[in-house]
Every structure is written in structure tokens, then in C-alpha cells.
Amino acid sequence: MNWPLFSVIYSIAATVTIGVFMIAALVTGHNQILHIQIAVIAGIILSVPSALFFTKKVGSITGNEEGYKV
């Protein structure tokens, strides 16, 4: 797997997912720190499969499926 590409896509996916969950928690009235922490943890965990999916898709498009080679 292309680890540099995965790390970039994961950082973008985690930021977006955490932001969506935090906004959803705040809009629905769950504004206590425990609810925000749960939203952050859920965003971190759920962004791993999406980052894997998009890393494989981008890797197959670019033809760089093997990863970074020196």
C-alpha cells in the first residue's frame, strides 16, 4: 500500500469526518464535553476505512499501487 498517500488522505478524511460529527452533535444539542469526545473518537475510527478505500482508488488511477519506492 502507498503509505504516504494513505497518510495524506487519512488526514483529510479524519478532519472532515470529525468536523461533520462535531457539527451534528452541536446542532442536535449535545454540547457537553463527553459528547464532543465521542464525536471525535467516532470520526477517527470511521475515517480509517474511507481512507483505505480512497487510497486504493487513487492508487489504481495513478498506477502507483505498490507505494513509495526509493
The full set of domain ranges for the chain reads 3-58
DSSP state of 28: T
What kind and span of H or E run contains 29? none
Is the confidence at residue 65, as pLDDT, over 80?
Answer: no
Q: Determine the pLDDT at residue 70.
A: 47
What are 7-40's pLDDT values in tens digits?
Answer: 999 999 999 999 999 999 999 999 999 999 999 9
Counting runs of H as helices and runs of E as strands, what totals does the chain give? 2, 0
Q: pLDDT over 70 for what percent of the chain?
A: 90
The three grid cell numbers given for residue 9, joined into one nine-digit string: 488522505
